[in-house]
A and B are shown apart, each in its own frame.
Chain A
Amino acid sequence: MKLVIGIVRPEQANQVLEALHRAEVRGFSISRVQGHGGEMDRVETYRGTTVQMGLSEKVRFEVAVSDNFVDQTVQALCEGGRTGEVGDGKIFVLPLDHAVRIRTGDSDEGAVTPVSK
């Protein structure tokens, strides 16, 4: 089991969702985060106060998958998230020790495999 974390541009989040859907990856959660990854900074001015915005809005996908779904998930995140410009984001794959589906008490592989009906 792996936990795949993908950090993407908010405007690409929809494409990522579609790519995950096509790859039949069904369970995930997303959150809005702010981060910095070496992209060009934006300069904004508010009533004479000029600031350099060092953090950009990003969307963070967390997908817990069984080992044979890792490649498809990473590929879907890449496919949906890529624009080719600096700031497209990163993907991290982490080992996952234990998972439980709260409703049934299923654990590990059983918990991260989508219910088929």
Chain B
Amino acid sequence: MNGGIDTGDTAWMLVATALVLLMTPALGLFYAGLVRSKNTLNTFMMSIAAIAVATVTWAAVGYSLAFDGSGDLVGGLGNAFMQGVDFSPHAGTAIPELVFFAFQATFCIITTALISGAVVERMRFGAFLVFAAVWSVVVYAVLAHWSFGGGWLFERGTLDFAGGVPVEMASGFSALAAALVVGARKDYGRQALLPHNAVYVLLGAGLLWFGWFGFNGGSGFSTGQNSVLAFTNTLLCPAATLVVWFALDLFRGRKVTAIGAATAIIVGCVLITPAGGYVSPGWAMLLGALGAVPSYLLIVWRTRTRVDETLDVLAAHGTAGFIGILFIGFFAQKAWNGVSDGLLYGNAGQLLDQVLADLAAPAYAFVTTFLLLKLIGAVMPLRATDKEEAGGMDVSQHGEEAYATGEGAILLLPEERLGVPVADPG
């Protein structure tokens, strides 16, 4: 111990922060594999953009609005521009405020990146940057305050270990709103739009799972019992989800699918996110098994609708986060978490606190995101033109291709660049 800092806790949190940051490029890879090859880079870049934009907004005001003070709805500006974020321990932990800040920043980043799944293959990159900047503050920071930073859910005693409210439900229900405002891809419902690289999808899911050990295992901000419980539950719960997903695939299509398995890994990790440090390993496996079913059914049903919530962020994150939060209300066990019991162990009040979070978070995320995108859409176009969409977002938004062969590429010397693009139409 040195000035209230625990070196073991701090060492683990430094590693956990890096693990969580890895999740965002992993998500980019996962998403890139799920889209058509002409949109690979644009899809990946939306996740990279979240790292860029959300880190800056987090340092400027996001962190302060989430963690400064105990206002019911939103925090203060006392830590704006990282004032007072230094080596002294963060309240209630034995890690420096700087580490706590960085760890929480990586949560804001991945949550912002998650929403891109709803709008890939047609949203303008510039419009997404603006959206990511504002969303990371007005939706993420606010919900993080409610759940983690001393807001009204936190004060009531709603249990949310690693972000069922600000990460999973916020991204899932915001994704639905974004898909509705931005609108469907022009080929949606008319052509089969297939994942172009299932290996990226599996590798991305695998790296996300790896990073999730930092996400959940770090959310106790220590190497204490809750952290250890959450860490191991992050292995158990997604494994149970995978097994049930295999069974559902077998039942429905007689074959176990790879893209389904990748999806199941994400769903399982999301399910255990809010509950990780609060339920026993046995109940964590039950959560993984039961929670697979609603997400699976929603994905099957959604693709038959006109709603092009392209990469099913609502089903994977919104729904699974909702179930995870609710599950705590029944199965939390003081003997394991040292904090509170659920209904099964005689504490019905906990269930009420969980239900309130399940009602308020989706409503706030959906409505705010809907209005925010309408507002941005009034100032600038949200979508690429039909022609840009048809030719692919990689070339139209970034001037690059994911799989450029170099054949037919003519090197332009600096003095020649002004004259192009022109070609002799004769």
A residues engaging B (CB < 8 A)?
9-11, 14, 34, 36, 38-46, 49-55, 83, 85-86
Contact A42 B421 (CB under 8 A): yes
Given the complex, which residues of A lie within 8 Å of B191, measured CB to CB? 14
Interface size of B in residues (CB-CB distance below 8 Å): 27
Whole-angstrom CA separation of A61 from B381 in the bound complex: 36
Please give me the residue from chain B that is nearest to A12 by CB atom: B390
Please give me the residue from chain B that is nearest to A54 by CB atom: B408
Q: Given contacts A52-B421, A54-B410, could you give 16 more A-B pairs where the C-beta distance is less than 8 Å? A: A11-B391, A34-B405, A34-B408, A38-B424, A39-B423, A41-B420, A42-B399, A43-B399, A43-B417, A44-B395, A46-B400, A49-B411, A51-B412, A52-B412, A54-B409, A83-B390
With known contacts A44-B399, A45-B400, A11–B420 Cβ distance under 8 A: no
Nearest 6 Cβ contacts at the A-B interface: A55-B408, A51-B409, A11-B390, A54-B408, A52-B410, A50-B412
With known contacts A49-B411, A51-B410, A85–B387 Cβ distance under 8 A: yes
Please give me the residue from chain A that is nearest to B425 by CB atom: A38
B391, B404, B405, B426: residue with the most chain A Cβ atoms closer than 10 Å: B391
Contact A52 B409 (CB under 8 A): yes
Considering only residues 272-331 of chain B, those with a C-beta below 8 Å from chain A are none
Residue from B395, B417, B426 within 8 A of A38 (CB atoms)? B426
Could you tell me the dominant secondary structure of chain A's interface residues?
mixed
B378 within 8 A of A: no
A-B contact pairs, 8 of them (CB 8 A): A14-B187, A41-B422, A42-B395, A43-B421, A46-B400, A54-B409, A55-B407, A86-B425
Given the complex, which residues of A lie within 8 Å of B425, measured CB to CB? 38, 86
Given the complex, which residues of B lie within 8 Å of A11, measured CB to CB? 390-391
B residues engaging A (CB < 8 A)?
38, 187, 190-191, 387, 390-391, 395, 399-401, 404-405, 407-412, 417, 420-426
Contact A41 B423 (CB under 8 A): yes
Contact B412 A40 (CB under 8 A): no
Contact A36 B408 (CB under 8 A): yes
Whole-angstrom CA separation of A49 from B408 in the bound complex: 15
Given the complex, which residues of B lie within 8 Å of A51, measured CB to CB? 409-412
Given the complex, which residues of A lie within 8 Å of B420, measured CB to CB? 41, 43, 52
Please give me the residue from chain A that is nearest to B387 by CB atom: A85
Given the complex, which residues of B lie within 8 Å of A39, measured CB to CB? 423
Contact B390 A44 (CB under 8 A): no
Contact B426 A53 (CB under 8 A): no
Contact A34 B407 (CB under 8 A): yes
Minimum CB–CB distance from A64 to chain B (whole Å) comes to 26
Minimum CB–CB distance from B192 to chain A (whole Å) comes to 8
Please give me the residue from chain B that is nearest to A44 by CB atom: B399
Given the complex, which residues of B lie within 8 Å of A44, measured CB to CB? 395, 399-401, 404, 409
Whole-angstrom CA separation of A107 from B417 in the bound complex: 55
